[in-house]
Amino acid sequence: MLKPILYYQYIKNDLRRQPFAKYHFYIFCFLISVAITAPFIAKQPTMTQFLPPCIPYDAMTTRLSDKLLSPFDPQANLSWYRRHWLGTDGMGRDIAAGLVAGTRIALQVGLGSVALAAVIGLFAGLMSGYYGDERFRMERRCVLLWLLGWAIWGFYLHVFAQQDWCATQFYTTTIVFTILLIIVLHILEKIITSIKHQQLVWIIPIDYFVMRSIDLLQAIPFLIILLGLMPFIKQKSVSNVILIIGCVTWMPIARMIRAQVIRLRTRVFIQNAEALGYPTWRIWVFHLIPNLLTPLLVAMSFGVANAIMAEGLLSFLGVGLPDDLVTWGSICQAARANATHWWLVLFPSGAILLTVLIFNWLGEHLKQLK
Amino acid sequence: MIHFILRRLLYGSVVMFFVVLIISSIIYAAPVDPTRMTFGQRSDNATVQAKRKELGLDQPLYVQLGMYMRDILPLSIEGDTPAEKEKYQYFKLFSVGNHNALVFKYPYLRESYQTGRRVSEILSSAIPQTAVLALASMLIATFLGILLGVAAALKPGSVFDTSAIIASVMGYSLPSYIVAMMLALIGGYWLSDWTGLNIQGSLFELDDFGDNRTVWKNLILPAIALGIRPVALITQLTRGTMMDVLTQDYVRTATAKGLRKKIVIFKHALRNALNPVATAISGWFAGLLAGAFFVESVFSYNGLGQVTVTALLNFDIPVVLGSVLFTALVFVVMNVFVDVLYALLDPRIRLN
């Protein structure tokens, strides 16, 4: 008898067979744990502390007395523990502490924006792949209802965005409002359709709309859209960068999901589920999405690599992220004034290279699963 | 074939129309006041109001959108007065009514907030330098990438093949600005006595007498920095297609009939392996413009990217939008060109 196994066990078993996958996975875990424990690894030691931190400096602390120290400087006035092993930047901030703080931000931006891109891409890909051009039917009154709903949403954005666009509170309110609006519209739709009345049924070519909008967004290189959107942010913050990178990189994921769904739709198990009269959400959640997980993970790990690179570029140019935040890109930027400070370039770029490589390799390993 | 090209061109122009629509609608979401950006904090109210009227900021949103679209379109109806003529620098086709005329003009991209110069003027001085840079790096990438890819495909699994693959994954994972800074440090500073290259500088520079001078050696480092990523991609692509082609029957036939190995590889195999590579190369050419943004700002190479990044840091929105628009235009035109090229190279595409 076949024993069902969990998805993560399936991945684990398959990754074991590949020679280097284990080590790449360990480095990935190391990066994640550094990102999580970053505030404890690098901070100012206090007297009452039981365990002293690895790096006795904060990423933000400026000490103008020892600015621009190279790693090979004697640093005679500093003890072994307080020595700047990777040097300092122009404001006397420790580079090692900056790298640790930068890991946190890079992974936050990378994973966060890819999660957003995956949600948008999964939804768009499922809609266009599952319904195609002919299968999405809606009564005219329901179409009008939904259009009205989205008009209300746009009006809300228009009014609310004038005041505090890009504040954290704005996101929370918008998400709650959107979810509530969707629920209310669904209930209204149920009520309306329960009234028996001869109505025109519209066939909406969802596939056409989604694919044309993807074409449109891919007409411009994504870094250019990113740069073009940056001056329109009122307030620099990490969540804005996550939002914008996520909204700009979902297109390849949606394309890939659409292709997979079109392939799966003709398979017997989906047709059986349709014949049994399962609701669409059930077919999606229990039958389609489990089969889409592996290609989605592959696309996501390449996406993380791209997003981390994009974040590095943005903070290197000094746009998007807050100015007082220490990231890999902003450490590199400090070396632009004077290229002789090689330690400001070498260590953060090594960190970016390592992270991007690890995510690219993990993607390659996951690709071998099928 | 003509039908195919026309259809692609029409599709490209529709895409371009929507790009312009999106760009002109986000210009009004900007968090800065254009009049204050132009005149500074201290300016009298009358000047500010006059500028607001000129930019149409006192009009409703859809009118502003329409004004921006009208400025950008090459064929439009403008007022037939000397002032308008100087603003748009148009070529009058014929009069419409008493005061207007149908005109043909370059897209008017407004004026820079910071310097007051026309954006088209700023861009047209920057674009040639970027074009030369992109062309040079693409040449390096094509030559090196195809050579490495063919060499790797000839002996799959060998030490050279494995190291070429690892190097290309590394090259693909390196952001271009990091490569640029490393090259600037190594080639322009540590080895500068030996190479004679500068850390910073652009293609056209002013000499001591105030004349423009072309300094070709300033092109070397940026072109290599920009070319690393395409080299990695082209190597992998060439290796993949070349390995496919080498297993096919006609290559075996050519070898069996006693042709020399050089002729089999370069004349029979490579020519067929290059179809996807050729289209990919022309597709990435437009993508190189995006990469040039960062490389140029590292080397202070006075091209499109340098101009855009400076404008971005100063909230000089017309310049940013102008260059985004230009890049999008290049990208769309390139996409159409790639489709046509693919159809030319591979007749099977045309029939579908």
SS3 A326: coil
Decide if B321 touches A, using CB distance below 8 A: yes
Chain A residue numbers with beta carbons less than 8 Å from the beta carbon of B291 are: 223
Same structural domain for residues B179 and B255?
yes
Beta-carbon separation of B324 and A220 below 8 A: yes
8 A C-beta contact, residue A227 and residue A315: no
Same structural domain for residues B144 and B22?
no
Decide if A305 touches B, using CB distance below 8 A: yes
Is the pLDDT at B352 greater than 60? The verdict is no
Decide if A328 touches B, using CB distance below 8 A: no
**What CATH number does the domain containing B141 carry?**
1.10.3720.10
SS3 A75: coil
The DSSP line for B98-121 is TTEEEEE------B-TTT--BHHH
| All structural domains of chain A with their residue ranges | 4-136+204-362, 137-203
Q: Read off φ and ψ for residue B145, nearest 5 degrees.
A: -65, -45
Beta bridge partners of B213: B205
Beta-carbon separation of B26 and A229 below 8 A: yes
pLDDT tens-digit readout, B156-178: 888 898 898 888 888 888 888 88
Same structural domain for residues B163 and B262?
yes
How big is chain B, counted in residues?
Answer: 352
Q: Which two tokens stand for residue B347?
A: 């007749």
The DSSP line for B1-70 is -HHHHHHHHHHHHHHHHHHHHHHHHHGGG-SS-HHHHHH-S---HHHHHHHHHHHTTTS-HHHHHHHHHH
Same structural domain for residues B195 and B284?
yes
Decide if B175 touches A, using CB distance below 8 A: yes
SS3 A140: helix
For residue A305, name the pLDDT band (cuts at 50, 70, 90).
very high
- The residue to which tokens 């400090």 are assigned: A334
Domain limit, last residue, from B72, B104, B136: B104
Same structural domain for residues B218 and B145?
yes
Same structural domain for residues B125 and B98?
no
In Å, how far are A4, A274, A276 from A268, measured between CA atoms?
20, 10, 12
Nearest CA in chain B to A312: B175
Chain A residue numbers with beta carbons less than 8 Å from the beta carbon of B315 are: 231
Distance CA B29, CA B320 (A): 14
Best mutation target, A224, A229, A332, A357, to test chain B (most B CBs within 10 A)? A224
8 A C-beta contact, residue B170 and residue A357: yes
Same structural domain for residues B86 and B39?
yes
8 A C-beta contact, residue B199 and residue B189: yes
Task: Name the burial class of residue A310, with classes exposed (0-12), middle (13-18) and buried (19+) by CB atoms within 10 angstroms of its CB.
Answer: buried
Q: What is the ipTM of this complex?
A: 0.79
* Weakest mean pLDDT among A55-69, A163-177, B94-108: A163-177
Which of B286, B293, B315 minimises the CB distance to A231? B315
Task: Determine the angle formed by the axes of helices B270-299 and B304-313, rounding to 10 degrees.
Answer: 40
Beta bridge partners of A94: A88
Distance CA B280, CA A202 (A): 40
Distance from CA of A183 to the nearest CA of B (A): 29
Q: A87-115 burial by CB neighbour count: b if 16+ within 10 A, else e? A: bbbeebbbbbbbbbbbbbbbbbbbbbbbe
pLDDT at B107: 83
Distance CA A249, CA A110 (A): 11
Decide if B293 touches A, using CB distance below 8 A: yes
SS3 B96: strand
Q: Classify the C-alpha dihedral B250-B251-B254-B255 as positive or negative.
A: negative
Chain B residue numbers with beta carbons less than 8 Å from the beta carbon of A228 are: 23, 26, 320-321, 324
Q: Above pLDDT 70, what percent of chain A?
A: 96
* Weakest mean pLDDT among A325-329, B3-7, B52-56, B252-256: B52-56
* Weakest mean pLDDT among A85-89, A352-356, A358-362, B286-290: B286-290
SS3 A181: helix
Q: Classify the C-alpha dihedral B27-B29-B30-B32 as positive or negative.
A: positive
Best mutation target, A158, A215, A227, to test chain B (most B CBs within 10 A)? A227
Decide if B61 touches A, using CB distance below 8 A: no
Task: Determine the angle formed by the axes of helices B2-26 and A206-217, rounding to 10 degrees.
Answer: 80
Which of A319, A332, A353 minimises the CB distance to B312? A319
Q: Which two tokens stand for residue A185?
A: 């519209």
Domain that holds residue B301: 119-345
Same structural domain for residues B189 and B330?
yes
Chain pair A-B, CB pairs under 8 angstroms: 118
Distance CA A162, CA A178 (A): 18
Domain membership of residue B350 (yes or no) is no
Is the pLDDT at A186 greater than 90? The verdict is yes
Nearest to B12 by CA among B267, B336, B327, B344: B336
Same structural domain for residues B129 and B247?
yes
Distance from CA of B129 to the nearest CA of A (A): 18
Is the pLDDT at B350 greater than 70? The verdict is no
Is the pLDDT at A308 greater than 90? The verdict is yes
Instruction: Summarize the confidence of residues B304-323 as an average pLDDT.
Output: 84
Decide if A19 touches B, using CB distance below 8 A: no
**In terms of CATH architecture, what is A4-136+204-362?**
Orthogonal Bundle (1.10)
Number of domains in chain B: 2
Domain membership of residue B109 (yes or no) is no
pLDDT at A147: 94
Is the pLDDT at A7 greater than 90? The verdict is no
8 A C-beta contact, residue A222 and residue A311: no
pLDDT at A318: 83
Best mutation target, B27, B178, B321, to test chain A (most A CBs within 10 A)? B178
pLDDT tens-digit readout, B213-257: 777 888 888 999 988 888 998 998 999 888 888 888 888 888 899
Domain membership of residue B113 (yes or no) is no
Nearest CA in chain A to B295: A313
pLDDT at A252: 92
Same structural domain for residues B66 and B186?
no
Same structural domain for residues B175 and B233?
yes
Best mutation target, A165, A220, A347, to test chain B (most B CBs within 10 A)? A220
Distance from CA of A228 to the nearest CA of B (A): 7
pLDDT tens-digit readout, B39-53: 777 778 888 888 888
Beta-carbon separation of A340 and B189 below 8 A: yes
Task: Name the burial class of residue A14, with classes exposed (0-12), middle (13-18) and buried (19+) by CB atoms within 10 angstroms of its CB.
Answer: middle
Nearest CA in chain A to B315: A231
For residue B281, name the pLDDT band (cuts at 50, 70, 90).
confident
- The residue to which tokens 């029957």 are assigned: B249
Distance from CA of A313 to the nearest CA of B (A): 7
Decide if B167 touches A, using CB distance below 8 A: no
Nearest to B173 by CA among A133, A355, A215, A88: A355
For residue A357, name the pLDDT band (cuts at 50, 70, 90).
very high
Nearest CA in chain B to A214: B15
Which of A216, A319, A339 minimises the CB distance to B184? A339
pLDDT, greater one: A50 or A140: A140
Average pLDDT, chain B: 82
Beta-carbon separation of B294 and A224 below 8 A: no
How big is chain A, counted in residues?
Answer: 370
SS3 B73: coil
Beta-carbon separation of B19 and A332 below 8 A: no
Which of A223, A305, A339 minimises the CB distance to B173? A305
Domain limit, last residue, from B104, B136, B155: B104
Which of B23, B173, B331 minimises the CB distance to A360? B173
Segments of A86-206 assigned E as strands: 137-139, 201-203
Task: Name the burial class of residue A365, with classes exposed (0-12), middle (13-18) and buried (19+) by CB atoms within 10 angstroms of its CB.
Answer: buried
Same structural domain for residues B72 and B162?
no
Distance CA B29, CA A142 (A): 32
Beta-carbon separation of B327 and A221 below 8 A: yes
Which of B185, B312, B332 minimises the CB distance to A231? B312
pLDDT at A354: 92
Decide if A29 touches B, using CB distance below 8 A: no
Nearest to B33 by CA among B298, B245, B303, B317: B317
Domain membership of residue B114 (yes or no) is no
8 A C-beta contact, residue B189 and residue A340: yes
Decide if A369 touches B, using CB distance below 8 A: no
Is the pLDDT at A145 greater than 60? The verdict is yes
Decide if B16 touches A, using CB distance below 8 A: yes
Decide if A157 touches B, using CB distance below 8 A: no
Neighbours of A31 (CB within 10 A): 19
pLDDT tens-digit readout, A129-139: 999 888 888 88
Decide if A349 touches B, using CB distance below 8 A: yes
